[in-house]
Structures are given as C-alpha cells and as structure tokens.
C-alpha cells in the first residue's frame, strides 16, 4: 500500500491485496489541483486491477462537490473505457450521506454497485469457524505482505516456478504472489471448505488465474511428492500440536533442490509504547493461553531447529516487525481488537479464567491499541521467516 498524505485532513490509499482504493477524512479542496496526486492514484489503481475495484469511502467524513465530481468522473470514464471492470463503492451506515451521494453513480453506470458497510459486507464473514475473522485475516496479510514481497526472493521465489501454499486459509497470500511474481502454477491447500470457497470467490472477482485451490489435510496431503520448487506455509505450524508432521509433508512434496518457506510468531515479543509493561504482561499470557490448547505461538525462533531436524539444509532465517507505522495505524488497531475478542473472550472462557484475570488480560490489548493510535506511540508485532532447501 502506498500512503498519500496529500492534505493534512484526508488520505487516499490503494491496497493491492484487496484491490481497494480508499479515501478517508475530510476532502474539501478549494481547487481541483489539490487532488492531483490522489486522482492519479485512482487512475493508477484502475490500470492495475482486473475484475472488481473496490472504492472504500466508509471512513470519509466530509467531501465537497468539487471532489465528489472529480473522483466520480474518473470512475464513470473507466466504466466506459473498460466494460470488463466493475466497481463496488463501499459506503458507511454511520455516515449515511455517503450512501445517498455515491448511490447516484450506480444509476448512471450499471457496472457500479454501491454497498453499505455492515457486518454482512464480507461474503465469508458468516461461514468461517472463526466468525468475523475474514477482514482481520486480510488486514494481517496486507500488513505482512509489504515486508514479505521483498523477503520472498531471498527464499526461492521467482517468476515461472511451480509452488504450493499449504494452509492457504482464505487464499489472499496466493493471490498476491500470483500478481507479484507470476509463478507458472500455484496449488493452494487448506482443510477449511468455507475458507476455500471464499478464496475461489475472490479469485473469480479479481479475475485471477493460475491458482488451484484444493481441500486437504496438511499433515497427510494427497499431493504427489517432489513436484514443487517452493512450498510456503505461513502462520500455521504454530497452531498445530505436532508441527513436525506438517514439515515432513512439506519436505515430501518439495523438489530436491527446492525450498520450504515458513513464517511464525513469538507473541511474547509483541511490544508497544506507551504502557509497555501492561502490553508485555498480556502477550506473555497469550503465549501461556495458546500453550494450554497445545499451540505454540512462540515457535518463531524455533523454526531453524525444526527445519534442520526435518532434513533441510541451507537454512535461512530473518525477522521483520509489523508496526503501526506500516500504513494506516487503524489497521494495526483493528487486528488487535480482533485478537482481544478471541483471546480474552472465547479462549479465556474455555480455559476457565476468572473475571479479574480477563479484565487485566484485556487491558493489555487495549493498551496496545492505545500505543498504535497514539500520535507519538509505537506498536509492534514480530514475525520470524525461515526457509530450508531439500537436499539434491
């Protein structure tokens, strides 16, 4: 995502992950020239996408007529120049005027649809076991992708390879890889039929080709051995009670000389300022909570050992920190809100935690959000990346 801080009071962004152009804040230019950069960004986004371009105005609080007509003119012209492209304008039920104002566009051009954001907007929201986690998963991938797109070539990613993305979830990583690196073939596997249905729907909407979504158990896959140049498995080993079984399967389907790429976390290293002590306490407790359910969200630094014990060689390990300074701080805050809801909600309840513990546990998440949104604050979420080569 490329932030465009064009004016002190509004921001325009393009997110390639979601094929989404967004405008937020107060847009009241005195002269149209003030919008030059953001209008260019919209034109650039239109030139990049296929299928559907989402135009998100749900965080738009004010917009004068000059700005409305400038953005609308570009969208309408694009509809006429590219009938293959559809626009979905996302408005807000909180800022009701956006639905009325942008609703006019759908009456002018049939390729423009206006949807009001609410809990039913995301098509996968109702069917994932995690309930409502689809937007959060997509936001997480959006935040990590800006790092991984630079890291992946150092771990075997290159155009034209044959790759597999195991535990692909809702498929957004495979879509980004296909757009950025253009492998000749991607097989994306997951055990959740609902997630795969969502992934196929996104692929169709965005007119993405070359990804084969398939159902399967990552610890016992029906894929032939030694057929992939690169096998990726992100944020998944840490939530299986026996990650070594998954790694053996990743090794098996990887070609001799190919690489397996994994990412994992060490949750106790999440940090923030101000209110560092409260934040540190809560994430130490997150690690213990996952441990109670036989999951290891401290696995990140252990990645090298796991890869070596599986038989890989030429192990490469690096880390990156996702922070509130990566794009919109609200995205970071939204992720933490979702974590708090699950960890200090259902998971703490199932472990039998008392109200006093849960209140302190939840406070650490709230302090992390405070740090992310504070004008002088800093909030971080560390990720470990590791890859190993299967011997020839």
The one-digit pLDDT tens for each residue of the chain (392 residues) are 444 344 447 889 998 877 889 998 888 888 888 899 999 999 999 998 989 999 988 878 788 889 999 999 999 999 999 999 999 998 876 666 888 888 889 888 999 998 876 544 433 333 334 445 677 788 889 899 999 999 999 999 999 999 999 999 899 999 999 999 999 999 999 988 888 988 998 888 888 888 999 988 888 788 999 999 999 999 999 988 889 999 999 999 999 999 999 999 999 999 999 999 999 999 999 999 999 988 999 999 999 999 999 999 999 999 999 999 988 899 899 899 989 988 999 899 989 999 999 999 999 999 999 999 999 999 999 999 999 999 99
* pLDDT score recorded for residue 118: 54
Phi, psi of 148 (to 5 degrees): -70, -30
What is the number of other CB atoms lying within 10 angstroms of the CB of residue 335? Answer: 22
Tokens of 246: 């998954």
Q: Which of 139, 140, 367, 382 is nearest to 272 (CA)?
A: 367
Half-sphere exposure of 342 (CA within 13 A, CB side): 14
From CA 219, how far away is CA 308, in angstroms rounded?
18
Q: Which of 368, 367, 365, 348 is nearest to 356 (CA)?
A: 348
Q: Which of 372, 261, 272, 276 is nearest to 318 (CA)?
A: 261
């Amino acid at each position: 995502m490329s932030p465009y801080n064009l004016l002190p009071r509004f921001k325009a962004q393009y997110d390639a992950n979601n094929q989404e152009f967004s405008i937020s804040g107060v847009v009241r230019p005195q002269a149209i020239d003030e919008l030059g950069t953001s209008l260019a960004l919209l034109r650039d986004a239109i030139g990049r996408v296929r299928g559907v371009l989402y135009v998100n105005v749900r965080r738009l609080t004010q917009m004068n007529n000059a700005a409305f007509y400038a953005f609308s003119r570009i969208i309408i012209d694009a509809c006429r120049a590219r009938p293959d492209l559809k626009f979905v304008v996302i408005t807000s039920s909180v800022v009701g005027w956006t639905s009325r104002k942008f609703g006019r566009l759908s009456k002018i051009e049939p390729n423009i649809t206006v949807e009001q954001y609410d809990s039913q907007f995301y098509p996968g929201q109702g069917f994932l076991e995690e309930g409502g986690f689809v937007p959060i998963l997509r936001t997480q991938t959006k935040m990590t992708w800006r790092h991984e797109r630079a890291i992946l070539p150092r771990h075997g990613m290159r155009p034209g390879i044959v790759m597999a993305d195991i535990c692909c979830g809702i498929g957004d990583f495979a879509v980004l890889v296909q757009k950025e690196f253009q492998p000749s073939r991607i097989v994306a596997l997951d055990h959740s039929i609902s997630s795969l249905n969502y992934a196929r729907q996104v692929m169709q909407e965005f007119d993405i080709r070359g990804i084969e979504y398939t159902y399967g158990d990552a610890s016992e896959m029906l894929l032939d051995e030694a057929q992939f140049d690169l096998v990726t498995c992100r944020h998944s080993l840490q939530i299986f009670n026996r990650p070594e079984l998954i790694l053996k399967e990743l090794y098996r389907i990887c070609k001799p000389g190919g690489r397996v790429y994994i990412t994992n976390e060490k949750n106790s290293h999440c940090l923030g300022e101000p209110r560092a002590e409260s934040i540190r306490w809560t994430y130490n407790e997150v690690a213990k909570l996952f441990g109670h359910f036989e999951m290891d969200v401290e696995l990140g630094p252990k990645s090298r050992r796991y890869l070596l014990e599986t038989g890989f060689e030429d192990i490469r390990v690096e880390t990156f920190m996702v922070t509130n300074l990566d794009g919109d701080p609200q995205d970071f805050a939204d992720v933490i809100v979702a974590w708090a809801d699950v960890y200090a909600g259902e998971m703490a309840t199932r472990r039998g935690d008392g109200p006093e513990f849960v209140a302190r546990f939840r406070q650490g998440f709230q302090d992390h959000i405070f740090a992310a949104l504070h004008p002088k604050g800093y909030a971080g979420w560390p990720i470990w990346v590791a890859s190993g080569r299967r011997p020839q």
